[in-house]
Amino acid sequence: MQLIITEKKSVAESISNALGVSQKHSGYMEGGNFLISWCAGHLLELAAPDEYDSKFAKWRYADLPIIPDKWLYSAIKGQKAAQLKTLKDLMKRPDVECIINACDAGREGENIFRSVYNYAKISKQTKRLWIASLENAAIKAGFSKLADGRNYDNLAAAASCRERADWLVGICGTRLMSVLYGTLLNTGRVQSPTLAMLVKRDADISCFVKEPFYTPVMDCTGFAASGDKLKDRQSAEDIRNNCSGKDAVVRSVERQKKSESPPKLYDLTALQRDANRLLGYTAAQTLEYAQALYERAILSYPRVDSRYLTSDMHGTAETVITSLKAQSPYCIGMGFTPDMGRIINDKLVTDHHAIIATPTALSANLTALSAGERDILNLVSVRMLCAVAPAHIYEAVTTVLDCAGHTFTTKGKIIITDGFKAIDTAFKASLKTSQESGEEADEIEEANELPGFSEGQTFGNVSVTVKEGFTTPPRPYTEDTLLSSMESAGTADVPDISQFERRGLGTPATRAAIIEKLVKTGFVERKKKNLIPTDKGLNLIAVLPDALTSAKLTAEWEYMLMQVGLGELSDKKFMDGITNFITTIVKENNTLKPEFANLFGGDKNKNEPLGICPRCTSAIRENESGYFCDTQTCFFKLWKRSKFWTAKKRPLTADIVSALLKGGEIALKGLYSEKTGKKYDAIVILDDPGEGYVNFKLKFK
């Protein structure tokens, strides 16, 4: 019997359909020689610090850094715990001889499977299903060439290193900064450098001082030509006075035939960028829609960083593209033959090929898809068509004119072959709102057609005006531009870097989650499409050590993780580097920076401990919404606007909390009764069940 374990139930169902496994049980399916079950995402997580030693329940500088000798995992509570038990029981069944890892074909999929396999404490043979599509044909082909699970040991090591590095930097960094500054300050291996990029851009914008400039513009019949930009208005006015009413002579006409190659196919980051820029979707939404399409077998696997296909996909891809071209409203009248050679490159495909529509997409019921799913499918389909269409060929014309000894220039272009641009333009015209970037708008402005010019040609009695403009600050980051910066981080000093040597912050699979976490934790807010750091985010970056905010260092780590996955670097060497790094950070930051002492507290008294947490003995402190335990994983909290205190029409003050924490109860006067509408006196008792919500009880004298 073979046990197949997938990452999600929907994938298990696709595989069961392909293999004809139809008998359903609680948590798994059975049929023929197969059992099929699923992980429901991560079922295990690295244990909290206090599971290694109870003393770590308190957050203290003296206990840092926390570096486990042996890493422990904890089962995630709730329904996932039941599924974990099901998997463990299935793996231990005597008739199961082989376990097939069918989790998503990538680093995190490998980690999800290995953690469950190791949790079961078995040593049965494992095989690896590695597919990029959930079509029946792709699944069957994948099962015909299952790989030995041991072939992916390096990938599993890289996944484990990533998880443990994030734990060390996150746990130790967060505790260090929170203890120093008396409030919860979340740090992260990738999150903090990403926030730092946003903060730097915000500072560049805030510190920007706009400066005026003046451009003489000569108006000739049918076209305009511009002089140099000048900082001095009077100099521009002098040119206007000298040239107005004079003749302008063409001194040179330069014509250059240029060719713009079609765009590459999408990887995840490029898809997320276009979906944000053109459609307004966040990176997380785009990944969600692409993943849903993958699970419907309509798109190939989305968490990829390649933009090419392998040669064995030539036939299938050509069939899909030919059908899309025949159906697409953006290709009407275009008789080109798809140039498949542009998108095939075996050397530039590692684990996965680019994102493409599958043959299933050609007959899919589009009305069954959500609007977001249809948009993403349309985006991918258009990109496939553009990628194999002819190049965009044009003639760039630069004409230089002389007037009264001053030089004016006009530029334009003459389209020779629209090529892929015809498809791209038709598609963008179909969008309800044009959300193209400013760079593209500038490109469109320059695409004007000029009259025919010849050297020596004269234009008489020209008029000249002075156009005032201002230098502009950098633009705030959008998800489009932030994803681009995250992808290229760490490559500035490596101009000839190849796809296989990408540094970058995070991976295509994780960048969306990083952005969402920054927003959810209150460090960043969305203002329309812009990502703006909040005061909380600005303050955090102000106090963090530079090493924790270094995009270059974090990108180097990501590169090293890739080397671990390829077997070029040992996992021990990588982890030694991380532990040395966090140990140094703790040693070098043993006290807060005096200039930032009151940065997070406002009223200093609010940061003073009000008492001891009854669950973990850490300090309880006040913030705007309530009273919380210093220990991040404790979850003891007293909300100021809880139903109990609101109903009693009595504010939950710091004095009341101190008394409750010290003695477990407090006598209060003037509590309001919703039932009678009158006030009464009573003793309020703190009733803490030890987990979940904290309750209160009343006792009468």
Could you say which DSSP state residue 105 is in?
S
Q: Active-site residue 301, yes or no?
A: yes
Which is nearest to 653 in space by CA: 635, 630, 626, 671?
Answer: 626
Question: How would you write 633-660 as a 3-class SS string?
Answer: CCCCEEECCCHHHHHCCCCCCHHHHHHH
What are the E-state strand segments in 233-304?
248-260
Which is nearest to 585 in space by CA: 82, 192, 271?
Answer: 192
Q: Residues with Cβ < 8 Å from 572, sequence gap 6 or more?
A: none
**Is the separation of the CB atoms in 462 and 239 below 8 Å?**
no
- What type of residue sits at position 79? Q
Rounded to a whole number, what is the distance in angstroms from the first to the last CA of the chain? Answer: 69
Q: Which two tokens stand for residue 404?
A: 């009264």
- Phi first, then psi: what are they for 329, rounded to 5°? -75, -10
**Is the separation of the CB atoms in 486 and 194 below 8 Å?**
yes
Cis peptide before 65 (omega within 30 of 0): yes
Question: In 10 A of CB 324, how many CB atoms?
Answer: 22
Could you say which DSSP state residue 135 is in?
S
Distance CA(539)–CA(202), nearest Å, equals 13
- Phi first, then psi: what are they for 27, rounded to 5°? 90, 0
Give the pairing type, strands 2-6 and 34-38: parallel
Q: Residues with Cβ < 8 Å from 602, sequence gap 6 or more?
A: none
Q: Residues with Cβ < 8 Å from 261, sequence gap 6 or more?
A: 342, 391
- CA dist 223 → 215, 411, 448 (Å): 16, 10, 10
Which DSSP helix (H) or strand (E) runs through 11? Answer: helix 9-19
How far is CA 391 from its chain centroid?
31
Which is nearest to 364 in space by CA: 329, 323, 413, 394?
Answer: 323
Distance CA(626)–CA(640), nearest Å, equals 5
The one catalytic residue in 281, 289, 294, 301 is 301
Could you say which DSSP state residue 385 is in?
H
Q: Active-site residue numbers?
A: 301
